[in-house]
Structure 1
Protein backbone atom coordinates (compact mmCIF):
# COMPACT_ATOMS: atom_id res chain seq x y z
CA UNK A 1 0.00 0.00 0.00
CA UNK A 2 1.20 3.45 -0.81
CA UNK A 3 -0.46 6.43 0.87
CA UNK A 4 -1.48 9.21 -1.45
CA UNK A 5 0.11 12.63 -1.29
CA UNK A 6 -3.26 13.87 0.00
CA UNK A 7 -2.89 11.87 3.23
CA UNK A 8 0.75 12.80 3.74
CA UNK A 9 0.18 16.46 2.98
CA UNK A 10 -2.99 16.65 5.08
CA UNK A 11 -1.00 15.32 8.04
CA UNK A 12 1.77 17.84 7.37
CA UNK A 13 -0.74 20.69 7.05
CA UNK A 14 -2.61 19.80 10.26
CA UNK A 15 0.67 19.41 12.13
CA UNK A 16 1.77 22.84 10.93
CA UNK A 17 -1.47 24.37 12.22
CA UNK A 18 -1.08 22.53 15.53
CA UNK A 19 2.51 23.69 15.98
CA UNK A 20 1.46 27.31 15.57
CA UNK A 21 -0.63 27.03 18.77
CA UNK A 22 -2.60 30.14 17.91
CA UNK A 23 -6.22 31.12 17.58
CA UNK A 24 -5.31 33.37 14.66
CA UNK A 25 -6.40 32.06 11.28
CA UNK A 26 -3.49 31.11 9.04
CA UNK A 27 -3.63 32.17 5.40
CA UNK A 28 -3.21 29.53 2.73
CA UNK A 29 -0.14 31.30 1.33
CA UNK A 30 1.58 31.19 4.74
CA UNK A 31 0.72 27.49 5.10
CA UNK A 32 2.08 26.87 1.62
CA UNK A 33 5.38 28.55 2.47
CA UNK A 34 5.82 26.69 5.74
CA UNK A 35 4.79 23.23 4.49
CA UNK A 36 6.10 23.29 0.93
CA UNK A 37 2.66 22.33 -0.40
CA UNK A 38 1.28 24.37 -3.28
CA UNK A 39 -1.66 26.69 -2.60
CA UNK A 40 -3.76 24.77 -5.15
CA UNK A 41 -3.10 21.43 -3.44
CA UNK A 42 -3.76 22.91 0.01
CA UNK A 43 -7.15 24.11 -1.21
CA UNK A 44 -7.98 20.55 -2.34
CA UNK A 45 -6.86 19.12 0.99
CA UNK A 46 -8.82 21.66 3.04
CA UNK A 47 -12.24 20.61 1.73
CA UNK A 48 -12.40 17.15 3.34
CA UNK A 49 -10.67 18.43 6.50
CA UNK A 50 -13.32 21.14 6.88
CA UNK A 51 -16.11 18.66 6.19
CA UNK A 52 -14.68 16.41 8.93
CA UNK A 53 -14.52 19.47 11.22
CA UNK A 54 -10.79 19.12 11.87
CA UNK A 55 -10.29 22.71 10.74
CA UNK A 56 -12.37 25.86 10.55
CA UNK A 57 -11.98 28.50 7.87
CA UNK A 58 -12.52 32.19 8.48
CA UNK A 59 -13.33 34.53 5.60
CA UNK A 60 -12.16 38.08 5.18
CA UNK A 61 -9.00 40.16 5.29
CA UNK A 62 -7.88 38.52 8.55
CA UNK A 63 -9.15 35.13 7.44
CA UNK A 64 -7.48 31.80 7.10
CA UNK A 65 -7.61 28.36 8.67
CA UNK A 66 -7.55 27.22 12.28
CA UNK A 67 -7.21 23.77 13.81
CA UNK A 68 -10.64 22.96 15.20
CA UNK A 69 -9.73 20.15 17.60
CA UNK A 70 -7.17 19.36 20.25
CA UNK A 71 -4.05 17.87 18.57
CA UNK A 72 -4.12 15.08 21.18
CA UNK A 73 -7.46 13.94 19.75
CA UNK A 74 -6.51 13.90 16.07
CA UNK A 75 -4.86 10.65 15.03
CA UNK A 76 -2.91 9.95 11.89
CA UNK A 77 -5.39 7.13 11.29
CA UNK A 78 -8.29 9.56 11.30
CA UNK A 79 -6.51 11.80 8.80
CA UNK A 80 -5.78 8.87 6.49
CA UNK A 81 -9.40 7.64 6.68
CA UNK A 82 -10.66 11.13 5.80
CA UNK A 83 -8.31 11.53 2.87
CA UNK A 84 -8.32 7.94 1.54
CA UNK A 85 -11.83 6.82 2.47
CA UNK A 86 -10.46 4.09 4.75
CA UNK A 87 -7.37 2.15 5.69
CA UNK A 88 -6.96 -1.17 3.99
CA UNK A 89 -4.26 -2.84 1.99
CA UNK A 90 -6.67 -4.26 -0.58
CA UNK A 91 -10.26 -3.60 -1.60
CA UNK A 92 -11.36 -7.12 -0.71
CA UNK A 93 -10.51 -6.49 2.95
CA UNK A 94 -13.59 -4.31 3.39
CA UNK A 95 -15.87 -5.46 0.57
CA UNK A 96 -17.06 -9.06 0.77
CA UNK A 97 -18.82 -8.90 -2.59
CA UNK A 98 -15.91 -7.42 -4.53
CA UNK A 99 -14.27 -10.69 -5.38
CA UNK A 100 -16.14 -13.92 -6.00
CA UNK A 101 -13.26 -15.77 -4.32
CA UNK A 102 -13.60 -13.89 -1.00
CA UNK A 103 -15.40 -16.74 0.82
CA UNK A 104 -12.72 -19.27 -0.13
CA UNK A 105 -9.66 -17.03 -0.47
CA UNK A 106 -6.77 -18.41 1.56
CA UNK A 107 -4.86 -15.09 1.64
CA UNK A 108 -7.69 -12.66 2.45
CA UNK A 109 -7.25 -13.12 6.21
CA UNK A 110 -3.61 -12.06 5.88
CA UNK A 111 -4.62 -8.79 4.22
CA UNK A 112 -7.38 -8.24 6.77
CA UNK A 113 -4.99 -8.77 9.68
CA UNK A 114 -2.26 -6.59 8.18
CA UNK A 115 -4.81 -3.83 7.49
CA UNK A 116 -6.07 -4.04 11.08
CA UNK A 117 -2.51 -3.76 12.46
CA UNK A 118 -1.79 -0.78 10.21
CA UNK A 119 -5.00 0.94 11.27
CA UNK A 120 -4.27 0.35 14.97
CA UNK A 121 -0.76 1.75 14.60
CA UNK A 122 -1.91 4.87 12.75
CA UNK A 123 -4.67 5.36 15.34
CA UNK A 124 -2.09 5.24 18.13
CA UNK A 125 -0.20 8.31 16.84
CA UNK A 126 -1.70 11.75 17.41
CA UNK A 127 -0.69 15.18 16.18
CA UNK A 128 0.31 15.92 19.78
CA UNK A 129 2.74 12.98 19.66
CA UNK A 130 4.29 14.39 16.50
CA UNK A 131 4.47 17.86 18.07
CA UNK A 132 6.43 16.54 21.06
CA UNK A 133 9.07 14.72 19.12
CA UNK A 134 8.54 13.44 15.59
CA UNK A 135 11.67 11.33 15.96
CA UNK A 136 10.35 9.93 19.25
CA UNK A 137 7.70 7.80 17.58
CA UNK A 138 8.67 4.27 18.45
CA UNK A 139 9.25 2.08 15.45
CA UNK A 140 9.44 -1.09 17.52
CA UNK A 141 8.29 -2.05 21.01
Structure 2
Protein backbone atom coordinates (compact mmCIF):
# COMPACT_ATOMS: atom_id res chain seq x y z
CA UNK A 1 0.00 0.00 0.00
CA UNK A 2 1.26 3.41 -0.89
CA UNK A 3 -0.34 6.45 0.71
CA UNK A 4 -1.68 9.00 -1.72
CA UNK A 5 -0.37 12.53 -1.89
CA UNK A 6 -3.72 13.62 -0.42
CA UNK A 7 -2.98 11.80 2.86
CA UNK A 8 0.63 12.93 3.08
CA UNK A 9 -0.27 16.53 2.22
CA UNK A 10 -3.22 16.52 4.63
CA UNK A 11 -0.84 15.52 7.42
CA UNK A 12 1.60 18.25 6.36
CA UNK A 13 -1.20 20.83 6.22
CA UNK A 14 -2.61 19.89 9.63
CA UNK A 15 0.86 19.91 11.14
CA UNK A 16 1.44 23.42 9.79
CA UNK A 17 -1.87 24.58 11.28
CA UNK A 18 -0.89 22.98 14.60
CA UNK A 19 2.42 24.88 14.63
CA UNK A 20 0.62 28.23 14.55
CA UNK A 21 -1.54 29.96 17.10
CA UNK A 22 -4.82 28.16 17.64
CA UNK A 23 -6.82 31.38 17.71
CA UNK A 24 -5.50 32.85 14.44
CA UNK A 25 -6.78 31.47 11.15
CA UNK A 26 -4.16 30.95 8.44
CA UNK A 27 -4.93 31.95 4.87
CA UNK A 28 -4.72 29.34 2.12
CA UNK A 29 -1.96 31.29 0.33
CA UNK A 30 0.21 31.24 3.48
CA UNK A 31 -0.48 27.54 4.01
CA UNK A 32 0.65 26.98 0.43
CA UNK A 33 3.82 28.96 1.03
CA UNK A 34 4.55 27.15 4.32
CA UNK A 35 3.89 23.62 3.05
CA UNK A 36 4.80 23.76 -0.64
CA UNK A 37 1.32 22.48 -1.55
CA UNK A 38 -0.51 24.35 -4.30
CA UNK A 39 -3.53 26.44 -3.36
CA UNK A 40 -5.72 24.32 -5.64
CA UNK A 41 -4.63 21.09 -3.94
CA UNK A 42 -5.07 22.62 -0.48
CA UNK A 43 -8.65 23.53 -1.38
CA UNK A 44 -9.29 19.89 -2.36
CA UNK A 45 -7.71 18.58 0.84
CA UNK A 46 -9.56 21.00 3.12
CA UNK A 47 -13.06 19.78 2.20
CA UNK A 48 -12.79 16.29 3.74
CA UNK A 49 -10.79 17.64 6.69
CA UNK A 50 -13.58 20.12 7.46
CA UNK A 51 -16.23 17.44 7.06
CA UNK A 52 -14.31 15.23 9.52
CA UNK A 53 -14.17 18.07 12.06
CA UNK A 54 -10.39 18.39 11.97
CA UNK A 55 -10.32 21.99 10.74
CA UNK A 56 -12.70 24.88 10.38
CA UNK A 57 -12.67 27.86 8.08
CA UNK A 58 -13.19 31.44 9.14
CA UNK A 59 -14.51 33.98 6.68
CA UNK A 60 -13.61 37.63 6.42
CA UNK A 61 -10.54 39.82 6.18
CA UNK A 62 -8.81 37.97 9.01
CA UNK A 63 -10.14 34.62 7.83
CA UNK A 64 -8.45 31.41 6.92
CA UNK A 65 -8.21 27.92 8.34
CA UNK A 66 -7.66 26.74 11.88
CA UNK A 67 -7.54 23.41 13.68
CA UNK A 68 -10.91 22.44 15.12
CA UNK A 69 -9.44 19.73 17.32
CA UNK A 70 -6.54 19.58 19.75
CA UNK A 71 -3.35 18.30 18.02
CA UNK A 72 -3.02 15.73 20.83
CA UNK A 73 -6.29 14.20 19.63
CA UNK A 74 -5.53 14.07 15.90
CA UNK A 75 -3.72 10.91 14.84
CA UNK A 76 -2.11 10.05 11.55
CA UNK A 77 -4.56 7.14 11.37
CA UNK A 78 -7.51 9.51 11.53
CA UNK A 79 -5.98 11.67 8.81
CA UNK A 80 -5.36 8.69 6.52
CA UNK A 81 -8.87 7.29 7.07
CA UNK A 82 -10.34 10.73 6.36
CA UNK A 83 -8.45 11.01 3.08
CA UNK A 84 -8.34 7.36 1.94
CA UNK A 85 -11.07 5.46 3.74
CA UNK A 86 -10.25 2.18 5.46
CA UNK A 87 -6.59 1.33 5.90
CA UNK A 88 -6.16 -1.90 3.95
CA UNK A 89 -3.00 -3.09 2.25
CA UNK A 90 -4.89 -5.36 -0.16
CA UNK A 91 -7.94 -4.63 -2.30
CA UNK A 92 -9.57 -7.92 -1.30
CA UNK A 93 -10.08 -6.61 2.24
CA UNK A 94 -12.37 -3.80 1.16
CA UNK A 95 -15.29 -5.90 -0.02
CA UNK A 96 -16.06 -9.60 0.22
CA UNK A 97 -17.43 -9.69 -3.33
CA UNK A 98 -14.28 -8.33 -4.98
CA UNK A 99 -12.54 -11.66 -4.85
CA UNK A 100 -14.25 -14.95 -5.49
CA UNK A 101 -11.59 -16.70 -3.39
CA UNK A 102 -11.92 -14.58 -0.26
CA UNK A 103 -13.64 -17.31 1.78
CA UNK A 104 -10.90 -19.88 1.10
CA UNK A 105 -7.93 -17.51 0.78
CA UNK A 106 -4.98 -18.57 2.93
CA UNK A 107 -3.26 -15.19 2.78
CA UNK A 108 -6.23 -12.93 3.47
CA UNK A 109 -5.83 -13.16 7.25
CA UNK A 110 -2.19 -12.10 6.91
CA UNK A 111 -3.20 -9.00 4.93
CA UNK A 112 -5.86 -8.25 7.56
CA UNK A 113 -3.32 -8.50 10.41
CA UNK A 114 -0.80 -6.35 8.55
CA UNK A 115 -3.49 -3.74 7.82
CA UNK A 116 -4.53 -3.63 11.50
CA UNK A 117 -0.88 -3.33 12.59
CA UNK A 118 -0.40 -0.39 10.22
CA UNK A 119 -3.62 1.20 11.45
CA UNK A 120 -2.58 0.77 15.11
CA UNK A 121 0.80 2.33 14.42
CA UNK A 122 -0.72 5.32 12.61
CA UNK A 123 -3.29 5.69 15.41
CA UNK A 124 -0.48 5.82 17.97
CA UNK A 125 1.09 8.96 16.45
CA UNK A 126 -0.52 12.34 17.12
CA UNK A 127 0.17 15.74 15.60
CA UNK A 128 1.25 16.91 19.06
CA UNK A 129 3.94 14.23 19.15
CA UNK A 130 5.14 15.25 15.70
CA UNK A 131 5.38 18.86 16.89
CA UNK A 132 7.58 17.75 19.78
CA UNK A 133 10.00 15.74 17.65
CA UNK A 134 10.15 17.13 14.12
CA UNK A 135 13.46 15.39 13.38
CA UNK A 136 11.57 12.08 13.12
CA UNK A 137 9.70 13.28 10.05
CA UNK A 138 11.66 16.04 8.30
CA UNK A 139 9.64 16.09 5.05
CA UNK A 140 6.48 14.10 5.76
CA UNK A 141 6.52 13.02 2.11
Instruction: Name the TM tier (shorter chain).
Output: over 0.9
Match for residue 117 of structure 1? 117
Residues matched between the structures, number: 137
- If asked which structure has higher relative contact order (CA below 8 Å, sep 6+), I would say 2
* Structure 2 alignment gaps of length 5 or more: none
Match for residue 73 of structure 1? 73
Match for residue 126 of structure 2? 126
Match for residue 84 of structure 2? 84
Match for residue 21 of structure 1? 21
Match for residue 54 of structure 2? 54
Structure 1 moving runs of 4+ over 6 Å: none
Residues 62-84 of structure 1: CA deviation (Å, up to 9, x unaligned): 11000000000000000000000
Match for residue 40 of structure 1? 40
CA distance in 2: counterparts of 1:136 and 1:106, whole angstroms: 36
Residues 56-112 of structure 1: CA deviation (Å, up to 9, x unaligned): 101111110000000000000000000001211012123222211000011111111
Q: Calculate the TM-score normalised by the size of structure 2.
A: 0.93
* 1:136 to partner: Cα distance: 4.8
Match for residue 97 of structure 2? 97
CA distance in 1: counterparts of 2:136 and 2:85, whole angstroms: 28
Q: Calculate the TM-score normalised by the size of structure 1.
A: 0.93
